[in-house]
């Protein structure tokens, strides 16, 4: 059963979200402030959090940033702040999606379902399925990578970087998160320039034009993202 934690201080909206997202295989846990949300996370397994940004006892953005130090649970932000800078900040702090108020409950349900499909164990590159992006075929299970019928040889670090980008396609991954993932346990001792070098080498191997990359896009001032053009 999937457990979704809804953190929203507007009781009627919280209830509406709970009724919309709930179902036979979905358990909804409701919280109206960050203190309640922390307690619920301690009590049991949560598979996704729907998180309001402005809460009575603090910022959902700061809560998400602190959450990322201990939990990998997906977070979908809800907020009345619709400035592009607010959205970028939410995604950079570890959010998986960002929905501005007012919003359709049906759209929220669809986007929550999309995040769950993308992040649940056994999805995406963990399934052993070959993924095709234009002239690229990526088989992470078999560790085989092909571009225009020619095999590509990737280092272990390049494979880890490619895998995390593809698994999170469409999302901006900050340089800090990429360093932490690719150089797990070593991030504090790795020169940040190592990431730029690794991205440059990976682009040279998979992109038709590394100077104008189709797949590994730069999010200036933040990090990198894999373009959403799977076929």
pLDDT in tens, the chain (231 residues): 899 999 999 999 999 999 999 988 899 999 999 999 999 988 778 899 999 999 999 999 999 988 877 677 889 999 887 777 778 888 888 788 889 888 899 989 998 998 888 766 544 444 456 788 889 999 888 889 999 989 999 888 898 899 989 888 878 888 888 888 887 655 455 677 889 999 999 999 999 999 999 999 999 888 999 986 544
| Candidates 3.60.15.10, 1.10.10.10, 3.40.630.30, 3.40.50.2300; CATH matching 124-226 | 1.10.10.10
Residue extent(s) of CATH 3.40.50.2300 domains in the chain:
2-119
Distances (CA, A) of 79 to 7, 101, 218: 12, 6, 26
Number of alpha carbons in the 13 Å side-chain half-sphere of residue 45: 4
As a dihedral over the C-alpha atoms of residue 104, residue 94, residue 62, residue 175, rounded to 10 degrees, the angle is -140
Q: Give the architecture-level CATH label for domain 2-119.
A: 3-Layer(aba) Sandwich (3.40)
The pTM of this model reads 0.56
């Amino acid at each position: 059963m999937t457990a979704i934690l809804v953190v929203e201080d507007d009781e009627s909206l919280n209830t509406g979200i709970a009724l919309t997202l709930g179902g036979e295989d979905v358990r909804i846990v409701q919280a109206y402030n960050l203190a309640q949300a922390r307690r619920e996370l301690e009590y049991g397994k949560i598979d996704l959090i729907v998180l309001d940004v402005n809460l009575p006892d603090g910022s959902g953005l700061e809560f998400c940033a602190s959450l990322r130090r201990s939990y990998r649970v997906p977070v979908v932000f809800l907020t009345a702040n619709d400035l592009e800078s607010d959205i970028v900040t939410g995604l950079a702090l570890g959010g998986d999606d960002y929905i501005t108020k007012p919003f359709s409950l049906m759209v929220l349900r669809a986007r929550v379902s999309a995040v769950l499909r993308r992040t649940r164990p056994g999805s995406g590159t963990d399934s052993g399925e070959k993924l095709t992006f234009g002239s690229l075929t990526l088989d992470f299970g078999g560790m085989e990578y092909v571009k225009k019928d020619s095999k590509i040889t990737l280092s272990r670090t390049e494979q880890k970087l490619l895998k995390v980008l593809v698994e999170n396609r469409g999302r901006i991954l900050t340089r800090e998160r990429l360093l932490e993932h690719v150089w797990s346990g070593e991030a504090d001792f790795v020169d940040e320039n190592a990431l730029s070098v690794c991205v440059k080498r990976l682009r040279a191997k998979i992109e038709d034009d590394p100077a104008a990359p189709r797949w590994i896009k730069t999010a200036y001032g933040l990090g990198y993202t894999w373009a959403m053009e799977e076929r």
